[in-house]
Amino acid sequence: MEQRIKATINADGTVTMETLSGFQGTSCAKETEMLLQAIGGHVVESHKKAEYYEDGDNPVEVLNK
């Protein structure tokens, strides 16, 4: 699946980044960190989507007793 990140430069000069698709687990944080380094920015506020807590490499199985 194609990985997509939306980056918006706001009127006040701040940049808002949102992962749109193709990310699972912490890969989104790694990719946005690389973009932040490229533009010389830093995180002011962060919100994680449900996909952040999914790990495609290590699926978790929940068993009911």
Tell whether 17 is covered by a domain: yes
Q: Which has the closest alpha carbon to 33: 19, 21, 22? A: 19
Domain span at residue 17 reads: 4-53
pLDDT digits (tens, 9 = 90+) for 34-58: 888 898 888 888 888 888 887 755 5
Query: 10-25, pLDDT tens digit by residue?
Result: 899 888 888 888 888 8
Which runs of consecutive H residues, i.e. helices, occur in 1-65? 27-39
Q: Is residue 23 part of a domain?
A: yes
Side-chain half-sphere exposure of 62, counting CA atoms within 13 A? 0
In a domain? residue 59:
no
8: in domain = yes
The pair of structure tokens assigned to 14 is 């701040």
43 lies in some domain = yes
The residues, any chain, with a CB within 8 Å of residue 49's CB and separated by 6 or more, are 19, 28
How many Å apart are CA 26 and CA 40, to the nearest integer? Answer: 21
* pLDDT computed for residue 13 by the predictor: 86
Looking at the structure of the chain, the number of domains it has is 1
Q: Per-residue pLDDT for 59 more than 60? A: no
